Structure 1
Amino acid sequence: MTGAGRGIGAVIAQVLAAEGASVTVTDVRGAADTAHAITDAGGRAAAVDLDLTDRKARDGLVDAVLGRWGRLDVLVNNAAAHGSRVPLAELDYAEWDAVLEANLAATAFLSTQAAAAMTGGGSIVNVASIQQRLPLPHYGAYIASKGGITALSNALAVELAPDVRVNLVAPGVIDTESFRTTPGADALSNGAGSDGAATGAQAQPATLLGRAGTAHEIARAVAFLASDESSFTTGATLTVDGGRTLSRKPDPLAGG
């Protein structure tokens, strides 16, 4: 799975390993730490340092997984680049390209490559965000990429059926370390597609449940869609946001 070096991604990897999966953990940094945490707990994991904008390295990932474990049953596309928090008018081509490459292109190409290796069927779970419907200001490239991942997931579900199921998890604001400790507008999520944390731990999330979610709650949603327990589910979006998309509460995360 991608983006599993820290935060929500690391917890997803640990939950999948606890369910019995042999997990290949990838990230630009921190992959080895997550893999060690899994093996220390008695699970099976391997780490691959991977920059998803490096197409050559990215295209070698599926072969690396097959070489390590001998098979591939599940792909979780969790990694996400946010880019700078600036108006779209101030975003340059290089940063736009980097965000779309890491988020959307990587999801597309890893999904088709993984599906080709999933003999006997498999499951792909993509992680998007509720920001595609409730966008925070000044994250245009990130939001566009997450909306693209949603449309892409539907297209993949159609093209890869019936052998491979493709589903989507859309998190809201999630209580990660960055949410709790990083003040100001830079306190966004750690790459798992959360709704952000513009004012840090002091912000009261505008959810129906009156709190932020936990990384474990996102991980359990991913594990469900990855498993045979969701065997009749494909092309679905599971929104895990505490009712944020239905709430009419003012959003303290949207300022600035």
Structure 2
Amino acid sequence: MAKMETKIGRRFEGKVAIVTASTQGIGFSIAERLGLEGASVVISSRKKKNVDEAVEKLKSKEIEALGVVCHVSNAQQRKDLIQKTVEKYGKLDVLVSNAAVNPSVDPILQTQESILDKLWEINVKATILLLQEAAPHLQKGSSIVLISSIAGFQPQPAMAMYGVTKTALFGLTKALAAEMSPDTRVNCVAPGFVPTHFAEFITKDEAVRKEAEGKTLLNRLGTTEDMAAATAFLASDDASYITGETIVVAGGIPSRL
């Protein structure tokens, strides 16, 4: 990380950013990157212990950080996340929606209705409901980034319904970009294979890892910092003429023409 810090700018000086599901993995790296670039960052996840530990890590790097417990499918906790942010910082400039679940490896036609509901609720609906809460506080020139997945372009058998919910985020990005223009930009990042706790199935088996690396053109898996860099770009004024777009950050894995 130290090497990266010497290269990054301060594009978020004076900005306030919320990142959901941000106490570990891709979400934490995004929060850290925005914070290193000067943002006041609000991190959240379901467990208070994880939130507190992540805030301490950020503060140890001299990042201004607030932690709020938020399970994105809980209406009151979504409200609290936005309210506590505005109470402390007075506004909101960036919102990164990163929360997702993949509770099943069943084929779609064998997936229980309760699991379908959970996938839809966390991976798609919660983003919409959170933005309904956040919208009144977004500043002119604000930016939303949704975190989707390469699986949204080609849903894989073991995570097919998860992939379909990620496909929905591409459409949601387009629809929200139109609805929230011209004051708020809405874009999307589609990560490829990134070894995180969420994607343990890739890393715990050497053969699966090698196969995943082989699908990329760069012969390596992505890092959480790779995803953070792309997200920070889209959220920043460097991307001020980009809205309604999805950037694939997957080392060249086939996605679309």
TM-score, with length taken from structure 1: 0.85
Once the 2 structures are TM-superposed, how far is the Cα of residue 204 of structure 1 from its aligned partner? 4.1
Q: Distance in 2 between matches of 1:122 and 1:188?
A: 35
Superposition pairs of residues 72-87 of structure 1, within 5 angstroms: 72-87=92-107
Q: Distance in 1 between matches of 2:74 and 2:54?
A: 22
- Percent of aligned pairs sharing the same letter: 34
Once the 2 structures are TM-superposed, how far is the Cα of residue 156 of structure 1 from its aligned partner? 0.3
Question: Which residue is 1:252 aligned to?
Answer: none
Letter in 1 for 2:34: L
Question: Which residue is 1:254 aligned to?
Answer: none
Once the 2 structures are TM-superposed, how far is the Cα of residue 21 of structure 1 from its aligned partner? 0.6
- Secondary structure of the residue that 1:209 maps to in structure 2? coil
Question: Which residue is 1:212 aligned to?
Answer: 221
Question: Which residue is 2:172 aligned to?
Answer: 152
Decide which of 153, 157, 160 is 1:137's aligned counterpart.
157
Once the 2 structures are TM-superposed, how far is the Cα of residue 207 of structure 1 from its aligned partner? 0.6
Letter in 2 for 1:4: S
Once the 2 structures are TM-superposed, how far is the Cα of residue 31 of structure 1 from its aligned partner? 2.2
Q: Distance in 1 between matches of 2:230 and 2:46?
A: 24
The verdict on how the C-alpha distance between 1:144 and 1:44 changes in structure 2, with shifts beyond 3 A counting, is same
Question: Which residue is 1:114 aligned to?
Answer: 134
When you count helix as a share of all residues, which structure comes out higher?
A: 2
Question: Which residue is 2:10 aligned to?
Answer: none
Residues 195 and 202, structure 2, Cα contact 8 Å, conserved in 1:
no
Q: Distance in 2 between matches of 1:149 and 1:244?
A: 19
2:131 is equivalent to residue 102 of structure 1: no
Over aligned residues, Cα RMSD in angstroms? 2.2
Once the 2 structures are TM-superposed, how far is the Cα of residue 140 of structure 1 from its aligned partner? 3.0
Question: Which residue is 1:91 aligned to?
Answer: 111
Once the 2 structures are TM-superposed, how far is the Cα of residue 200 of structure 1 from its aligned partner? 5.1
Residues 31 and 47, structure 1, Cα contact 8 Å, conserved in 2:
yes
* Cα distance per residue 1:158-191 (max 9 Å; x no partner): 0000000000000101133565xx4xxxx169xx
Superposition pairs of residues 222-233 of structure 1, within 5 angstroms: 222-233=231-242
Stretches (4+) displaced over 6 A = none
The verdict on how the C-alpha distance between 1:77 and 1:246 changes in structure 2, with shifts beyond 3 A counting, is closer
Once the 2 structures are TM-superposed, how far is the Cα of residue 198 of structure 1 from its aligned partner? 9.6
TM-score, with length taken from structure 2: 0.85
Question: Which residue is 2:29 aligned to?
Answer: 11
Residues 173 and 197, structure 1, Cα contact 8 Å, conserved in 2:
no
Once the 2 structures are TM-superposed, how far is the Cα of residue 104 of structure 1 from its aligned partner? 0.4
Q: Distance in 2 between matches of 1:2 and 1:218?
A: 15
- Secondary structure of the residue that 1:119 maps to in structure 2? strand
Unpaired stretches in structure 1, ≥5 consecutive residues: 190-195, 248-256
Decide which of 171, 182, 193 is 2:191's aligned counterpart.
171
Unpaired stretches in structure 2, ≥5 consecutive residues: 1-18
Once the 2 structures are TM-superposed, how far is the Cα of residue 116 of structure 1 from its aligned partner? 2.0
The verdict on how the C-alpha distance between 1:66 and 1:199 changes in structure 2, with shifts beyond 3 A counting, is farther
The verdict on how the C-alpha distance between 1:52 and 1:198 changes in structure 2, with shifts beyond 3 A counting, is farther
Question: Which residue is 2:60 aligned to?
Answer: 40
Letter in 2 for 1:37: K
